[in-house]
Amino acid sequence: MNARIPSAELAAPADGVGCHAGRAQMQQAAQAAGNSALLQRYAADYPQGPHDQPQSMCPAFGSLRVGLRMRRVATVLSGSACCVYGLTFTSHFYGARRSVGYVPFNSETLVTGKLFEDIRESVFKLADPAKVDAVVVINLCVPTASGVPLRLLPREIDGVRIIGIDVPGFGVPTHAEAKDVLAGAMLAYARAEAQAGPVQAPRNWVPPARSGKPTVTLLGEVFPADPVGIGMMLEPMGLACGPVVPTREWRELYAALDCAVVAALHPFYTASVREFEAAGRAVVGSAPVGYEGTAEWLRAVGTACGVAADKIAAAQNQMLPAIKGALARTPIKGRITLSGYEGSELLVGRLLVESGADLRYVGSACPRTPWSAADAEWLQARGVRVQFRASLEQDLAAFEEFAPELAIGTTPVVQHAKQRATPALYFTNLISARPLMGPVGAGSLAQVINAALASKPRFDEMRAFFEGVGVGDCGGVWSSPPQPHPEYREFHLHKMEKLARKRKAEEMV
């Protein structure tokens, strides 16, 4: 195989840089290694700013997770050992229960092209059609910056598809968008297969031809019960719920492409939308959350599918009273700020507002896209500040400004809130992993949020009890109560001032 070999001067260092440093250096190396077009596409698909990169987990986790959740798909990582350790640790923390392949490298195998040969060899070993439908290879930061050419891998080995993607932290800002990188690559592959000839139906799939109903593909990972609820909502319009993308098996990709309309429930799937649009499918934004959100979503989906107005009204009339009832039965009272990096933050925000919460701020690490525009407008019209590509600093500033009674956010935001005796909930684990759609979603948030709001006295009690413990000079582990020695601080201050004066005097000589 004639792999392009990065020169020693241009190749990214095998270690020592990455998400903590050297972003510009990595980008420069990637450009020099022939990856300019890739970086330009990522810059267009996943626009950055107002700051460079949100502070969330390694973006490649999103791609890794999509591959690991699919049946008969093997995943191989190519990157620094420390990155791979973190990624495999996180994937098993989230219950992957699947091995992750790893092709190690060093400076020599990177610059001589041996790394590419090693990746190629591993792909041939894994591509057993009796065991897998596809093998995914993910280039992390250093191999991407060094131009390790996954595009030169065979497209197929014994009927097993080979998907090579680059997911560098300096090109893909969040793990949410990294899900799109792999989902988009798989859809592109499956679309080409469908264009070339007949393809297989998913297992246990009732084809639309048999049910006689056009389907709605759901774009975005949702709570397992949500597609069932959405299917019930669509029924009066003569529509059925299609697969959820990212899919759980390869064959579902064909069924996903063979839909009447795509519902971009999560708004950051830019590359996937591009594939659906290339297949001639219309894409509808937002999601059926709350009363107003569901009414508008049903109208948009029905209109995109050419459903008659009376049938759209029938679908709305079937669901909306139940949603209104659920919202009224489970009100939320309290001032809340919300932030996260899953992409569903604005949908949760809508549900909170319709539940009666005094929501002041929604921060999302994901960018503004056409498919979240209606949600952003809806929230802003109700006085909620919406911040796309929110940084940790912006989330914390919102907390300080609005002094919420409950902060829903990422780990550092929750930690910050708890230090101030404010109840807080993790968005990823406790909020985004709940049903959000239809009548079930309308009632599901209130229980956890009201319980958290009611825990304020407990926080006050804890703070009063632990006040001053483990802070400042008393931090650390002590065998006896720590004795502050302010005189030591004075002494060292004088010493350093004296040293500074001496240095200055020497400079002047």
For 214-240, what is the HEC assignment?
Answer: CEEEEECCCCCCHHHHHHHHHHHHCCE
d(CA 137, CA 64): 9
DSSP characters over 263-299: E-SSTT-HHHHHHHHHTT-EEE-S-S-HHHHHHHHHH
Question: Which residue type does 182 have?
Answer: L
Figure out which of the listed residues 29, 64, 66, 141 binds ligand SF4, where binding follows CB under 6 A: 141
Convert residues 265-294 into a mask of x (bound to ligand SF4 by CB under 6 A) and - (unbound): ------------------------------
CB of 79 to ligand SF4, least distance (A): 5
* Cβ proximity to ligand SF4, 79 vs 267, nearer residue: 79
* Cβ proximity to ligand SF4, 58 vs 165, nearer residue: 58
* Cβ proximity to ligand SF4, 84 vs 338, nearer residue: 84
CB of 424 to ligand SF4, least distance (A): 26
Task: Indicate whether 351 belongs to the interface with ligand SF4 (CB under 6 A).
Answer: no
Helix (H, G, I), strand (E, B) or coil at 386: strand
Half-sphere exposure of 30 (CA within 13 A, CB side): 27
* Cβ proximity to ligand SF4, 26 vs 245, nearer residue: 26
Task: Indicate whether 83 belongs to the interface with ligand SF4 (CB under 6 A).
Answer: yes
* Cβ proximity to ligand SF4, 23 vs 360, nearer residue: 23
d(CA 297, CA 239): 14
CB of 302 to ligand SF4, least distance (A): 42
CB of 221 to ligand SF4, least distance (A): 20
CB of 173 to ligand SF4, least distance (A): 10
Total residues contacting ligand SF4 by CB under 6 A comes to 11
d(CA 269, CA 246): 10
Convert residues 63-82 into a mask of x (bound to ligand SF4 by CB under 6 A) and - (unbound): ----------------xx--
CB of 356 to ligand SF4, least distance (A): 40
* Cβ proximity to ligand SF4, 275 vs 342, nearer residue: 342
Strands 215-219 and 261-263: parallel
Contacts of 335 (CB under 8 A, 6+ apart): 357, 358, 360, 402, 403, 404, 405, 406
* Residue bearing tokens 């700051």: 51
For 87-154, what is the HEC assignment?
Answer: HHHHHHHCCCCCCCEECCCCHHHHHHCHHHHHHHHHHHHHCCCCCCCEEEEEECHHHHHCCCCHHHCC
Task: Indicate whether 315 belongs to the interface with ligand SF4 (CB under 6 A).
Answer: no
Rounded to the nearest angstrom, the gap between the alpha carbon of residue 197 and the centroid of all alpha carbons in its chain is 34
DSSP characters over 448-478: HHHHHHTTHHHHHHHHHHHTTTTSGGG-S--
CB of 18 to ligand SF4, least distance (A): 3
**How many other CB atoms sit within 10 Å of the CB of residue 195?**
10
Figure out which of the listed residues 5, 64, 137, 140 binds ligand SF4, where binding follows CB under 6 A: 140
For residues 30-59, which are near ligand SF4 according to CB under 6 A? Answer: 58
Task: Indicate whether 60 belongs to the interface with ligand SF4 (CB under 6 A).
Answer: yes
Contacts of 251 (CB under 8 A, 6+ apart): 133, 199, 200, 201, 202, 203, 205
* Cβ proximity to ligand SF4, 79 vs 340, nearer residue: 79
* Cβ proximity to ligand SF4, 60 vs 336, nearer residue: 60
Closest CA to 338 of 409, 290, 414: 409
Both tokens of 362, joined, read: 């929604």
CB of 82 to ligand SF4, least distance (A): 7
Task: Indicate whether 110 belongs to the interface with ligand SF4 (CB under 6 A).
Answer: no
Angstrom distances, CA of residue 229 to CA of 223, 249, 454: 10, 22, 30
* Cβ proximity to ligand SF4, 26 vs 431, nearer residue: 26
CB of 38 to ligand SF4, least distance (A): 15
CB of 144 to ligand SF4, least distance (A): 8
For residues 86-105, which are near ligand SF4 according to CB under 6 A? Answer: 86
* Cβ proximity to ligand SF4, 60 vs 374, nearer residue: 60
CB of 391 to ligand SF4, least distance (A): 16
Figure out which of the listed residues 164, 169, 438, 441 binds ligand SF4, where binding follows CB under 6 A: 169
CB of 303 to ligand SF4, least distance (A): 41
* Cβ proximity to ligand SF4, 70 vs 141, nearer residue: 141
* Cβ proximity to ligand SF4, 185 vs 442, nearer residue: 185
d(CA 21, CA 224): 39
* Cβ proximity to ligand SF4, 169 vs 285, nearer residue: 169
For residues 2-21, which are near ligand SF4 according to CB under 6 A? Answer: 18-19
CB of 174 to ligand SF4, least distance (A): 11
d(CA 147, CA 363): 34
Both tokens of 375, joined, read: 């949600």
Residue 169: DSSP 8-state: T
d(CA 317, CA 315): 6
The site for ligand SF4 (CB under 6 A) is made up of: 18-19, 58, 60, 79-80, 83, 86, 140-141, 169
